[in-house]
Structure formats: C-alpha cells, structure tokens
C-alpha cells in the first residue's frame, strides 16, 4: 500500500449559489464515502497566489500550479488513478495529477 497525492489543477469553477454549494459538498461526501479507508487526508483548496523560490534564492510571485489536493492510499498508481476518476473536482473543470509518494523520514 502506498500513498498518492491527488493534485488538483488550476481552473474550473466554484459553485455560485447555496444550492450549487450544497450539491458540490454532497458530491465530495459521496466520493469520500466511496473511497472509504483509502482516504488519508481530504485535503484543502489553495488560493491562486503563490511564491516561487529559485535555486539562487530569488523569490518571485507566481500563479499557483494547483487549486488543491487530497491524499489517498492505494495498491498501485493505476488503482489510485481509478479512485481519482470519481473526484468531484473533475466535474468542476479542473484536471487531476496523481503522484505516488514515498517516505524518506
């Protein structure tokens, strides 16, 4: 079993009305229930504001490369990818990158 970072791409749309917000939250609740114990960290959204530190130590303002994340456990990258296909962020118009992580400390 390994951990996988689901990195949500920028873009997509936020729900505008209370009904849309409730529907999106219900979709997240359903997806979390569907993947069950594979959910390690439900994650959070991120703002579009970010800083990048260059190898020379220079800091610059950049557009965030992600809009949020979730961490799941799975037996393989393919299994994690299959689970990610049910994520509500896709319906909002953002892509998902699935990255396998490994412990070094």
Domain residue extents for the chain: 2-100
For 31-74, how does the pLDDT look when each residue is reduced to its tens digit (9 = 90+)?
999 999 999 999 999 988 999 999 999 999 998 889 999 999 99
pTM: 0.89
Strand partners, 45: 68
Q: Report whether 95 contacts 14 (CB < 8 A).
A: no
**Confidence label for 98 from pLDDT (cuts 50, 70 and 90):** very high
The pLDDT > 90 percentage for the chain reads 82
For residue 80, count CB atoms less than 10 angstroms from its CB and return exposed for 0-12, middle for 13-18, buried for 19 or more.
buried
Residue-level pLDDT at 14? 80
Q: Going by CATH, does the domain composed of 2-100 fall within 3.30.70.1060?
A: yes
């Amino acid at each position: 079993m390994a951990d996988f970072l689901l990195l949500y791409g920028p873009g997509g749309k936020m729900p505008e009305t209370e009904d849309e917000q409730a529907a999106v939250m219900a979709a997240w609740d359903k997806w979390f229930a569907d993947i069950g114990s594979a959910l390690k960290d439900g994650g959070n959204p991120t703002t579009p504001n970010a800083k990048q530190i260059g190898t020379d130590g220079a800091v610059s303002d950049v557009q965030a490369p992600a809009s949020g994340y979730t961490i799941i456990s799975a037996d393989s990258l393919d299994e994690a990818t299959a689970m990610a296909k049910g994520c509500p962020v896709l319906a909002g118009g953002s892509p998902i990158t699935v990255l396998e992580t490994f412990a070094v400390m």
